C-alpha cells in the first residue's frame, strides 16, 4: 500500500489523531488481538472488549492520577448531552452556578435552565469573551459551580481553577483541553470531555465523577441519563461506542508513551508559544482574540486586517496543506487548534506560513 498523503491538521474537532494511533488501528483493523475480527465486529460483552475498556480506564487513571473515589465513564451524546445530564443528576433541587466566558459555557447554562434553575456567576459576553471573569458572584447554596476550562471558539483557558464557595462542588467541561496537561482531579467533583479533540474520535464522552456526586442522582431518571446506573454497569449498560472507546484507549496509551501529561503539556506549550510569538511579532498584522493572560494553549483564534485577507489566508494555507484554519462560523477570522496529536513541526509550518503571508500581503 502506498503511504497516504498527510497534511497539517488544525481542525477544532474532530481533530488530528496521533499518527502512531492511526497506524496501530490500521494494523489491527482486520484482526484485533487474534480474534480475526475488527473491534467494530466483536461483542461488547466479550473478554477482549472488557479488557480493552478496562485498560483505557486504567491508562486514563494513570495519566490524570485519578483518585480511587472517582468513577470513569465512557458515554455517548457528546459534551452536549452532558449539558443536560449534569443538572438532571446533580441538581435535583435548588440552583446551579455557571461561569460564562465563551459560547460553550453560555450553551451549558442555557441547557441547565431548560430543566430547572441555573444562573450565571459571571458573564463576560459584553466584553466579547476576551478574558476570564475578574470576579464571581457565587450562590453559597449552589448545587455546583460549572466552568469551561477551555473555550474552544474564543480561545480562553483556565490554568488555575475558579474557586467555588466552601463545600460547593466544582464541575468542568474540559472538552477541548482534556489530557493536554496535568490537573488536580481532587479539586473537581466532576469533569466531562467529548473525546474528539485531544482524546479520540467523536462518539464518546469521558465523565470522571466523584462517588458522592453519583449519590445525587434522582430515582426516576431514564437509565441512559443516569450516572449512577451507568457507573454501576461500568459504561456497559447498553452497546457502547466500541470503536470510539478503542481509539480513545490507544490515545491514552500513546500519551503515556510520550512521558505522561507533564511531557504532553511541555510540547503543547512549545507549539502555542511559537504561534503567539508570530502573532505578537507581526506588528498588529495578526491580532489575537484573547487577552494575553487568558490565552489558550489549545485554540488560537486571531484576525487579520480585513475579512478579505482572512479568506485569502484560509484558502492559501489550505493549498499549503495547512488544514482547518478558518475560524468558527460564529466569530469568523482564523483559528489554529493545536491539540495533543500535533507536533512542534506543525506549529513551525504554520508560523512559517504566517510570516510569509504577511511579507506578501502586509
Ligand atoms: C468546550 C466544548 N464544550 C462542548 C462542546 C460540544 O461537544 P459535542 O459536539 O461533543 O457535543 C464543544 C465542541 O466543540 C466544546 O468545544
Q: pLDDT tens-digit profile of 225-283?
A: 999 999 999 999 999 999 999 999 999 999 999 999 999 999 999 999 999 999 999 99
Burial class (CB within 10 angstroms; exposed 0-12, middle 13-18, buried 19+) of 271: buried
State yes or no: pLDDT of 74 exceeds 80: yes
| β-sheet bridge partners, residue 336 | 300
pLDDT at 1 exceeding the cut of 80? no
Reported confidence tier of residue 93, pLDDT bands at 50, 70, 90: confident
Q: Give residues (CB < 6 A) around ligand 1.
A: 13, 78-80, 104, 148, 152, 173, 175-176, 194
Looking at residue 81, what is its pLDDT?
Answer: 98
Distance 106 CA to ligand 1 centre (A): 12
Rounded to the nearest angstrom, the gap between the alpha carbon of residue 45 and the centroid of all alpha carbons in its chain is 28
316: pLDDT strictly greater than 80: yes
pLDDT of residue 301: 98
Other beta carbons within 10 Å of 36: 10
Q: Which atom of ligand 1 is nearest to the CA of 83?
A: 4
With the most atoms of ligand 1 within 8 angstroms of its CB, the residue from 148, 194, 200 to mutate is 194
Catalytic site positions: 104, 173, 197
Residue range 26-44: mean pLDDT, rounded: 97
Any idea which of 1-10, 82-91, 198-207 has the lowest mean pLDDT?
Answer: 1-10
pLDDT of residue 331: 87
Q: Confidence band (pLDDT; 50, 70, 90) for 3?
A: confident
Q: How far is the CA of 204 from the centre of ligand 1 (A)?
A: 12
pLDDT at 28 over 90: yes
- C-alpha to C-alpha distance for 202 and 241, rounded to whole angstroms: 9
> Quick check: 2 pLDDT over 90?
no
Nearest residue by C-alpha to atom 7 in ligand 1: 79
Ligand 1, residue 174: give the atom nearest the CA: 1
Q: Output the CA 81–ligand 1 centroid distance in Å.
A: 10
What is the Å distance from ligand 1's center to 108 Cα?
A: 10
- Grid coordinates standing for 130? 476576551
Residues 6+ positions from 111 with CB-CB distance below 8 Å: 80, 83, 84, 87
| Atom 1 of ligand 1: nearest residue by CA position | 175
State whether residue 112 is helix, strand or coil.
helix
The answer to whether the bond into 14 is cis (omega within 30° of 0) is yes
The pLDDT of 169-180, averaged and rounded, is 98
Give the pLDDT band of residue 335 (cuts 50, 70, 90). very high
* pLDDT surpassing 80 at residue 172: yes
Does the pTM surpass 0.95? The reply is yes
Which one of 101, 175, 335 would you pick to mutate in the ligand 1 pocket, going by the greatest count of ligand atoms within 8 A of its CB? 175
pLDDT tens for residues 113-152? 999 999 999 999 999 999 999 999 999 999 999 999 999 9
Question: What is the average per-residue pLDDT within 193-222?
Answer: 97
Atom of ligand 1 nearest to the CA of 102: 1
Using the mean position of ligand 1's atoms as its centre, give its distance from the Cα of residue 258 in Å.
26
CA dist., res. 266 & res. 262, Å (int): 6
Residues 91-111: what's their mean pLDDT?
96
For 274-307, the pLDDT digits (tens) are 999 999 999 999 999 999 999 999 999 999 999 9
pLDDT in tens, 9-20: 999 999 999 999
Share of the chain above pLDDT 90, in %: 97
Amino acid at each position: 500500500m502506498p503511504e497516504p498523503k498527510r497534511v497539517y491538521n488544525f481542525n477544532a474537532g474532530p481533530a488530528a489523531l496521533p499518527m502512531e494511533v492511526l497506524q496501530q488501528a490500521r494494523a489491527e483493523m482486520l484482526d484485533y488481538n487474534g480474534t480475526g475480527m475488527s473491534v467494530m465486529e466483536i461483542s461488547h460483552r466479550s473478554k477482549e472488549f472488557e479488557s480493552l475498556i478496562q485498560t483505557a480506564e486504567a491508562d486514563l487513571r494513570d495519566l490524570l492520577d485519578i483518585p480511587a473515589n472517582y468513577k470513569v465513564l465512557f458515554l455517548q451524546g457528546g459534551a452536549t448531552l452532558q449539558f443536560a445530564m449534569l443538572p438532571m443528576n446533580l441538581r435535583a433541587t435548588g440552583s446551579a452556578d455557571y461561569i460564562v466566558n465563551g459560547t460553550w459555557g453560555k450553551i451549558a447554562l442555557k441547557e441547565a435552565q431548560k430543566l430547572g434553575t441555573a444562573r450565571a456567576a459571571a458573564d463576560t459576553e459584553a466584553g466579547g469573551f476576551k478574558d476570564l471573569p475578574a470576579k464571581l458572584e457565587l450562590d453559597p447554596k449552589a448545587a455546583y459551580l460549572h466552568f469551561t476550562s477551555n473555550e474552544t471558539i474564543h480561545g480562553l483557558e483556565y490554568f488555575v481553577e475558579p474557586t467555588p464557595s466552601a463545600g460547593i462542588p466544582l464541575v468542568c467541561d474540559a472538552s477541548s483541553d482534556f489530557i493536554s496537561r496535568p490537573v488536580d482531579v481532587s479539586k473537581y467533583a466532576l469533569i466531562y470531555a467529548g473525546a474528539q479533540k485531544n482524546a479520540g474520535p467523536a462518539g464518546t464522552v469521558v465523565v470522571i465523577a466523584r462517588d458522592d456526586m453519583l449519590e445525587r442522582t434522582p430515582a426516576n431518571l431514564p437509565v441512559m441519563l443516569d450516572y449512577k446506573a451507568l457507573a454501576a454497569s461500568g459504561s456497559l449498560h447498553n452497546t457502547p461506542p466500541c470503536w470510539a472507546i478503542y481509539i480513545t484507549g490507544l490515545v491514552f496509551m500513546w500519551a503515556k508513551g510520550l512521558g505522561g501529561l507533564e511531557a504532553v503539556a511541555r510540547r503543547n506549550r512549545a507549539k502555542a508559544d511559537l504561534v503567539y510569538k508570530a502573532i505578537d511579532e507581526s506588528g498588529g498584522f495578526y491580532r489575537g482574540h484573547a487577552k494575553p493572560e487568558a490565552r489558550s494553549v489549545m485554540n488560537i483564534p486571531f484576525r487579520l486586517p480585513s475579512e478579505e485577507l482572512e479568506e485569502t489566508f484560509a484558502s492559501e494555507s489550505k493549498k499549503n496543506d495547512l488544514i482547518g484554519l478558518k475560524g468558527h462560523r460564529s466569530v469568523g477570522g482564523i483559528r489554529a487548534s493545536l491539540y495533543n496529536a500535533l507536533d512542534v513541526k506543525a506549529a513551525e509550518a504554520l508560523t512559517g506560513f504566517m510570516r510569509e503571508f504577511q511579507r506578501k500581503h502586509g
